[in-house]
Amino acid sequence: MKTILFTHKGKRKINQDYVLVRNLNCDSFLFIVADGMGGYELGEKAAQLVSENILTYLLSVSDINPNHVQKAINKANLAIRQFRENAGIKLGTTIGGAIVTSKEALCFWVGDVKIFHFRDNILQKESHSHTLMNEVIDKGSIVNPEQITKYKHVVTRSVQGELSRSQIDFFKVKLIEGRDKFLICSDGVSDIFNGLQVQQVLNSTKSDVDAINIIENLLIEEAKDNFSLILTNFHQV
Protein backbone atom coordinates (compact mmCIF):
# COMPACT_ATOMS: atom_id res chain seq x y z
CA MET A 1 0.00 0.00 0.00
CA LYS A 2 1.57 3.28 -1.11
CA THR A 3 0.12 6.34 0.60
CA ILE A 4 0.69 10.08 0.29
CA LEU A 5 -1.02 12.58 2.58
CA PHE A 6 -1.02 16.17 3.74
CA THR A 7 -3.05 18.43 6.01
CA HIS A 8 -2.82 22.22 6.09
CA LYS A 9 -4.63 25.08 7.81
CA GLY A 10 -4.84 27.03 4.54
CA LYS A 11 -5.83 30.63 5.19
CA ARG A 12 -7.55 29.78 8.48
CA LYS A 13 -5.97 30.42 11.88
CA ILE A 14 -6.50 26.83 13.05
CA ASN A 15 -6.45 23.50 11.22
CA GLN A 16 -9.68 21.71 12.16
CA ASP A 17 -9.01 18.75 9.85
CA TYR A 18 -7.63 15.45 11.13
CA VAL A 19 -6.00 12.69 9.08
CA LEU A 20 -5.56 9.11 10.27
CA VAL A 21 -3.81 6.16 8.60
CA ARG A 22 -3.50 2.91 10.56
CA ASN A 23 -3.22 -0.85 10.19
CA LEU A 24 -6.28 -2.64 11.52
CA ASN A 25 -4.52 -6.00 11.14
CA CYS A 26 -1.91 -7.57 8.86
CA ASP A 27 -4.35 -7.53 5.93
CA SER A 28 -6.26 -4.25 6.29
CA PHE A 29 -5.66 -0.52 6.53
CA LEU A 30 -7.90 2.30 7.76
CA PHE A 31 -7.75 5.73 6.11
CA ILE A 32 -9.75 8.66 7.51
CA VAL A 33 -10.10 12.36 6.79
CA ALA A 34 -12.26 14.25 9.31
CA ASP A 35 -13.26 17.88 8.84
CA GLY A 36 -14.22 19.61 12.09
CA MET A 37 -17.27 21.81 11.70
CA GLY A 38 -16.22 25.45 11.68
CA GLY A 39 -19.58 26.81 12.82
CA TYR A 40 -19.13 25.09 16.17
CA GLU A 41 -16.37 25.21 18.77
CA LEU A 42 -13.33 22.92 18.90
CA GLY A 43 -13.74 21.46 15.43
CA GLU A 44 -10.21 20.06 15.63
CA LYS A 45 -11.10 18.21 18.86
CA ALA A 46 -14.24 16.75 17.28
CA ALA A 47 -12.34 15.54 14.22
CA GLN A 48 -9.68 13.81 16.31
CA LEU A 49 -12.11 12.38 18.86
CA VAL A 50 -14.36 10.86 16.20
CA SER A 51 -11.45 9.43 14.17
CA GLU A 52 -9.83 7.80 17.20
CA ASN A 53 -13.11 6.32 18.44
CA ILE A 54 -13.77 4.80 15.02
CA LEU A 55 -10.27 3.31 15.04
CA THR A 56 -10.69 1.89 18.55
CA TYR A 57 -13.97 0.20 17.66
CA LEU A 58 -12.75 -1.26 14.37
CA LEU A 59 -9.64 -2.67 16.07
CA SER A 60 -11.98 -4.68 18.31
CA VAL A 61 -13.86 -6.50 15.52
CA SER A 62 -12.58 -9.23 13.23
CA ASP A 63 -14.96 -8.85 10.27
CA ILE A 64 -15.14 -5.31 8.87
CA ASN A 65 -18.42 -4.53 7.11
CA PRO A 66 -20.75 -1.52 6.70
CA ASN A 67 -22.69 -2.49 9.81
CA HIS A 68 -19.53 -2.40 11.92
CA VAL A 69 -18.55 0.95 10.40
CA GLN A 70 -21.94 2.36 11.38
CA LYS A 71 -21.48 1.00 14.90
CA ALA A 72 -18.06 2.67 15.03
CA ILE A 73 -19.67 5.97 13.98
CA ASN A 74 -22.34 5.47 16.66
CA LYS A 75 -19.61 4.94 19.27
CA ALA A 76 -17.93 8.14 18.12
CA ASN A 77 -21.27 9.93 18.38
CA LEU A 78 -21.58 8.92 22.01
CA ALA A 79 -18.07 10.23 22.70
CA ILE A 80 -18.99 13.56 21.10
CA ARG A 81 -22.23 13.73 23.09
CA GLN A 82 -20.41 13.04 26.35
CA PHE A 83 -17.75 15.66 25.59
CA ARG A 84 -20.44 18.15 24.59
CA GLU A 85 -22.38 17.66 27.81
CA ASN A 86 -19.26 17.88 30.00
CA ALA A 87 -17.86 20.96 28.26
CA GLY A 88 -21.18 22.68 27.60
CA ILE A 89 -20.37 23.41 23.95
CA LYS A 90 -21.50 22.24 20.52
CA LEU A 91 -18.98 20.43 18.35
CA GLY A 92 -19.05 18.08 15.41
CA THR A 93 -17.26 16.83 12.33
CA THR A 94 -17.84 15.40 8.89
CA ILE A 95 -15.84 12.32 7.99
CA GLY A 96 -14.85 10.13 5.09
CA GLY A 97 -12.74 7.01 5.02
CA ALA A 98 -11.77 3.73 3.44
CA ILE A 99 -10.95 0.31 4.82
CA VAL A 100 -8.67 -1.43 2.35
CA THR A 101 -7.77 -5.12 2.36
CA SER A 102 -5.85 -7.15 -0.21
CA LYS A 103 -9.10 -7.83 -2.10
CA GLU A 104 -11.60 -5.06 -1.44
CA ALA A 105 -12.05 -1.46 -0.36
CA LEU A 106 -15.01 -0.28 1.70
CA CYS A 107 -15.43 3.49 1.35
CA PHE A 108 -17.75 5.34 3.76
CA TRP A 109 -18.70 8.91 4.59
CA VAL A 110 -20.91 11.17 6.67
CA GLY A 111 -21.13 14.73 5.37
CA ASP A 112 -19.03 16.33 2.65
CA VAL A 113 -15.59 14.73 2.91
CA LYS A 114 -15.07 13.44 -0.64
CA ILE A 115 -13.84 10.02 -1.76
CA PHE A 116 -12.72 9.40 -5.35
CA HIS A 117 -11.92 5.99 -6.83
CA PHE A 118 -9.58 5.86 -9.82
CA ARG A 119 -8.64 2.81 -11.89
CA ASP A 120 -5.74 3.24 -14.30
CA ASN A 121 -5.95 6.95 -13.36
CA ILE A 122 -9.50 7.18 -14.70
CA LEU A 123 -12.25 8.33 -12.32
CA GLN A 124 -14.64 5.44 -11.65
CA LYS A 125 -16.77 6.59 -8.73
CA GLU A 126 -17.07 9.34 -6.14
CA SER A 127 -19.00 9.84 -2.93
CA HIS A 128 -22.25 11.81 -3.02
CA SER A 129 -21.89 14.47 -0.34
CA HIS A 130 -24.57 14.94 2.31
CA THR A 131 -25.27 18.60 1.60
CA LEU A 132 -28.43 20.66 1.29
CA MET A 133 -27.41 21.47 -2.28
CA ASN A 134 -27.38 17.80 -3.26
CA GLU A 135 -30.67 17.14 -1.45
CA VAL A 136 -32.37 19.96 -3.36
CA ILE A 137 -30.94 18.73 -6.68
CA ASP A 138 -31.83 15.09 -5.92
CA LYS A 139 -35.45 16.07 -5.21
CA GLY A 140 -35.65 17.87 -8.55
CA SER A 141 -36.57 21.18 -6.92
CA ILE A 142 -36.30 24.25 -9.13
CA VAL A 143 -33.94 26.79 -7.62
CA ASN A 144 -31.78 29.46 -9.21
CA PRO A 145 -28.02 28.73 -9.47
CA GLU A 146 -27.03 31.44 -6.97
CA GLN A 147 -29.34 29.99 -4.34
CA ILE A 148 -28.06 26.45 -4.98
CA THR A 149 -24.45 27.55 -4.44
CA LYS A 150 -25.33 28.88 -0.99
CA TYR A 151 -26.44 25.36 -0.02
CA LYS A 152 -23.14 23.72 -1.05
CA HIS A 153 -21.54 23.90 2.40
CA VAL A 154 -24.68 23.25 4.43
CA VAL A 155 -24.18 19.64 5.55
CA THR A 156 -27.22 17.50 6.29
CA ARG A 157 -25.31 14.70 8.03
CA SER A 158 -22.42 14.93 10.47
CA VAL A 159 -21.11 13.35 13.66
CA GLN A 160 -22.20 15.72 16.42
CA GLY A 161 -23.89 13.51 18.99
CA GLU A 162 -27.16 12.80 17.16
CA LEU A 163 -27.45 9.26 15.78
CA SER A 164 -30.27 10.18 13.39
CA ARG A 165 -28.01 12.63 11.53
CA SER A 166 -24.95 10.42 11.22
CA GLN A 167 -26.00 7.51 9.00
CA ILE A 168 -23.19 6.48 6.67
CA ASP A 169 -23.30 6.01 2.93
CA PHE A 170 -20.78 3.63 1.41
CA PHE A 171 -19.57 1.83 -1.68
CA LYS A 172 -17.33 -1.19 -2.18
CA VAL A 173 -14.65 -1.82 -4.79
CA LYS A 174 -13.10 -5.15 -5.76
CA LEU A 175 -9.42 -4.33 -6.13
CA ILE A 176 -6.96 -5.00 -8.94
CA GLU A 177 -3.34 -4.74 -7.85
CA GLY A 178 -1.48 -1.70 -9.13
CA ARG A 179 -4.54 -0.25 -10.87
CA ASP A 180 -6.76 1.17 -8.12
CA LYS A 181 -6.28 4.45 -6.26
CA PHE A 182 -8.42 6.22 -3.69
CA LEU A 183 -8.30 9.90 -2.87
CA ILE A 184 -10.02 11.06 0.33
CA CYS A 185 -10.16 14.79 0.96
CA SER A 186 -11.81 17.55 2.96
CA ASP A 187 -13.94 20.13 1.16
CA GLY A 188 -11.01 22.53 1.19
CA VAL A 189 -9.58 20.29 -1.55
CA SER A 190 -12.80 19.42 -3.41
CA ASP A 191 -13.78 23.10 -3.59
CA ILE A 192 -10.74 23.60 -5.85
CA PHE A 193 -10.37 20.18 -7.53
CA ASN A 194 -13.20 17.96 -8.70
CA GLY A 195 -12.65 14.32 -9.61
CA LEU A 196 -12.03 14.95 -13.31
CA GLN A 197 -9.49 17.65 -12.52
CA VAL A 198 -7.63 15.27 -10.20
CA GLN A 199 -7.75 12.68 -13.00
CA GLN A 200 -6.16 15.20 -15.37
CA VAL A 201 -3.33 15.90 -12.91
CA LEU A 202 -2.71 12.18 -12.33
CA ASN A 203 -2.45 11.58 -16.07
CA SER A 204 -0.21 14.57 -16.77
CA THR A 205 2.51 13.71 -14.24
CA LYS A 206 5.11 10.96 -14.01
CA SER A 207 4.26 9.88 -10.47
CA ASP A 208 1.66 10.21 -7.74
CA VAL A 209 4.16 12.26 -5.73
CA ASP A 210 4.45 14.78 -8.57
CA ALA A 211 0.66 14.90 -8.92
CA ILE A 212 0.06 15.52 -5.23
CA ASN A 213 2.78 18.18 -5.15
CA ILE A 214 0.98 20.06 -7.93
CA ILE A 215 -2.34 19.77 -6.09
CA GLU A 216 -0.86 20.85 -2.76
CA ASN A 217 0.98 23.84 -4.21
CA LEU A 218 -2.16 25.13 -5.93
CA LEU A 219 -4.18 24.67 -2.75
CA ILE A 220 -1.62 26.66 -0.76
CA GLU A 221 -2.20 29.52 -3.19
CA GLU A 222 -5.97 29.30 -3.62
CA ALA A 223 -7.71 27.37 -0.82
CA LYS A 224 -9.66 29.51 1.65
CA ASP A 225 -10.35 26.62 4.03
CA ASN A 226 -8.27 23.96 5.76
CA PHE A 227 -7.32 21.28 3.25
CA SER A 228 -6.37 17.65 3.81
CA LEU A 229 -5.89 14.71 1.49
CA ILE A 230 -4.94 11.05 1.43
CA LEU A 231 -4.02 9.28 -1.80
CA THR A 232 -3.53 5.55 -1.50
CA ASN A 233 -2.39 3.31 -4.34
CA PHE A 234 -3.37 -0.35 -3.96
CA HIS A 235 -0.63 -2.95 -3.94
CA GLN A 236 -0.76 -6.35 -2.25
CA VAL A 237 -0.35 -6.03 1.51
Contact residues for 2 (Cβ-Cβ < 8 A; gap 6+): 208, 232, 233, 235
Q: Look at residue 236 and tell me whether its pLDDT is greater than 70.
A: no
**pLDDT at position 73:** 98
Confidence of residue 26 (pLDDT cuts 50, 70, 90): confident
Whether 164 is in a domain gets the answer yes
Number of domains in the chain: 1
Q: Look at residue 237 and tell me whether its pLDDT is greater than 70.
A: no
Q: What is the pLDDT of residues 149-184, one digit of tens each?
A: 788 889 999 999 999 999 999 999 999 999 999 999
**pLDDT at position 141:** 79
User: Cβ distance 33 to 127 under 8 Å?
Assistant: no
Whether 138 is in a domain gets the answer no
Instruction: List the domain range (segments joined by +) for residue 70.
Output: 2-127+158-233
Q: What is the CATH number of the domain that holds 26?
A: 3.60.40.10
Neighbour tally for 85: CB within 10 Å: 10
Report the share of the chain in percent with pLDDT over 90: 84
Q: Residue 187: helix, strand or coil by DSSP? A: helix
Q: What is the pLDDT of residues 8-21, one digit of tens each?
A: 999 999 999 999 99
Confidence of residue 94 (pLDDT cuts 50, 70, 90): very high
Q: What is the pLDDT of residues 188-209, one digit of tens each?
A: 999 999 999 999 999 999 999 9
User: Cβ distance 160 to 37 under 8 Å?
Assistant: yes
Whether 167 is in a domain gets the answer yes
How many Å apart are CA 90 and CA 58, to the nearest integer? 26
Q: Render the burial of 210-237: b for 16+ CB within 10 Å, e for the rest.
A: ebbeebbeebeeebebbbbbbbbebeee
Whether 144 is in a domain gets the answer no
